[in-house]
């Protein structure tokens, strides 16, 4: 038996430490939370993707009475981006969320496993790292690529 460790590295920023591009993207993610449709969870998530050409595409979580039919903000944004701009890599994806009281979360919002899987394939599809910014009022995590959020990931190479 041999124990192995997998490390991920991330950076914790305060908002005032971010550059104007990242501030703009975070604000787009925060604004997107107000366009969510969350009659069941009352948990509003927004995602904003900056494409390689500079375009910002946003998404928010969209729920449905048949719960599994809904979709997370991250995948809404990524699928929309890929549907509208299939030749554009995602440079950075920012995510923000508000709780049922309407307050932005204090801790950086972590994407769910399904979204991490889609983020990974989006990154691999364009063979370019996709930076991720996870917003919290007490700090913002910057992750250098989607692969870092999904150690021991399953991807197409596993099927060969
Ligand atoms: Zn998700």
Q: What pLDDT was estimated at residue 67?
A: 96
Element (H, E) at 136: strand 131-136
Report yes or no on 21 lying in a domain.
Answer: yes
Cα of 26 vs its chain's centroid, Å: 11
Q: Which residues form the domain of 73?
A: 10-150
74 is annotated as an active-site residue: yes
Which strands make up the sheet holding 131-136, listed edge to edge? 10-13, 139-143, 131-136, 90-98, 44-51, 56-60
CATH number for the domain harbouring residue 128: 3.40.140.10
Q: What pLDDT was estimated at residue 112?
A: 98
Among candidates 78, 76, 34, 85, which has minimal Cα distance to 55?
85
Report yes or no on 160 lying in a domain.
Answer: no
Report yes or no on 145 lying in a domain.
Answer: yes
Report yes or no on 157 lying in a domain.
Answer: no
Q: Report CA(115)–ligand 1 centroid distance (Å).
A: 4
Report yes or no on 81 lying in a domain.
Answer: yes
Q: What pLDDT was estimated at residue 101?
A: 98
The pLDDT tens digits along the chain (160 residues) read 999 999 999 999 999 999 999 999 999 999 999 999 999 999 999 999 999 999 999 999 999 999 999 999 999 999 999 999 999 999 999 999 999 999 999 999 999 999 999 999 999 999 999 999 999 999 999 999 999 999 999 998 999 9
Q: What pLDDT was estimated at residue 129?
A: 97
SS3 104: strand
Report yes or no on 4 lying in a domain.
Answer: no
Q: Report CA(2)–ligand 1 centroid distance (Å).
A: 33
The one catalytic residue in 3, 15, 17, 74 is 74
Q: Report CA(128)–ligand 1 centroid distance (Å).
A: 21
3-state secondary structure string across 5-59: CCCCCEEEECHHHCCHHHHHHHHHHHHHHHHCECCCCCCEEEEEEEECCCCEEEE
Among candidates 35, 21, 11, which has minimal Cα distance to 96?
35
Q: Report CA(74)–ligand 1 centroid distance (Å).
A: 6
The span from the CA of 77 to the CA of 70, in Å, is 13
Report yes or no on 139 lying in a domain.
Answer: yes
The span from the CA of 48 to the CA of 59, in Å, is 6
Q: What pLDDT was estimated at residue 120?
A: 97
Which tens digit of pLDDT belongs to each residue from 71-108?
999 999 999 999 999 999 999 999 999 999 999 999 99
The span from the CA of 28 to the CA of 43, in Å, is 17
Q: Report CA(10)–ligand 1 centroid distance (Å).
A: 20
* Counted domains in the chain: 1
Report yes or no on 52 lying in a domain.
Answer: yes
The span from the CA of 107 to the CA of 119, in Å, is 21
């Amino acid at each position: 038996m041999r124990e192995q460790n997998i490390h991920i590295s991330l950076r914790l920023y305060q908002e005032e430490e971010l550059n104007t591009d990242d501030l703009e993207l975070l604000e787009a993610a925060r604004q997107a939370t107000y366009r969510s449709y969350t009659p069941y969870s009352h948990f509003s998530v927004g995602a904003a993707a900056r494409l390689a050409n500079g375009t910002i595409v946003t998404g928010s979580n969209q729920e449905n009475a048949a719960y599994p039919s809904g979709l997370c903000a991250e995948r809404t944004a990524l699928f929309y981006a890929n549907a509208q701009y299939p030749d554009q890599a995602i440079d950075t994806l920012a995510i923000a969320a508000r709780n049922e009281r309407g307050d932005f979360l204090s801790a950086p919002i972590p994407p769910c496993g399904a979204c991490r899987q889609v983020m990974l394939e989006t990154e691999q599809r364009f063979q370019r790292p996709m930076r991720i910014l996870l917003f919290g009022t007490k700090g913002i995590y910057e992750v250098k690529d989607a692969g870092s959020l999904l150690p021991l990931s399953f991807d197409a190479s596993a099927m060969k």
